[in-house]
């Protein structure tokens, strides 16, 4: 299985938008995304390389599997 690697915030934003998340607001250098049915928002910092632990935490919050994430990332 491929490893999750750091990616640019714009690419991660596109992944979550494909999953149905909507950009609710920007607060400083963070993007706040929400989706109906998910109790907590997903926060994406505007970094050129988002660390792996932030990507994993956001996937856990969004209830998205590693395989689904990697499949969507391939399409982008």
Q: Model confidence over 9-50: pLDDT tens digits?
A: 999 999 999 999 999 999 899 999 999 999 999 999 999 999
Strand order in the sheet with 30-34: 22-27, 30-34, 42-45
Q: Which pTM value belongs to this model?
A: 0.91
How many angstroms separate the CA atoms of 54 and 40, rounded?
Answer: 15
Domains of the chain: 9-75 (3.30.920.30)
């Amino acid at each position: 299985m491929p490893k999750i690697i750091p990616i640019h915030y714009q690419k991660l934003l596109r992944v979550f938008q494909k999953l149905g998340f909507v950009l609710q607001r920007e607060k400083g250098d963070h993007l706040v995304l929400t989706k109906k049915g998910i109790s907590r928002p997903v926060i994406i910092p505007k970094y050129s390389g988002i660390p792996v632990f932030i990507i994993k935490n956001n996937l856990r919050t969004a209830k998205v599997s590693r395989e689904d994430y990697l499949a969507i990332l391939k399409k982008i």
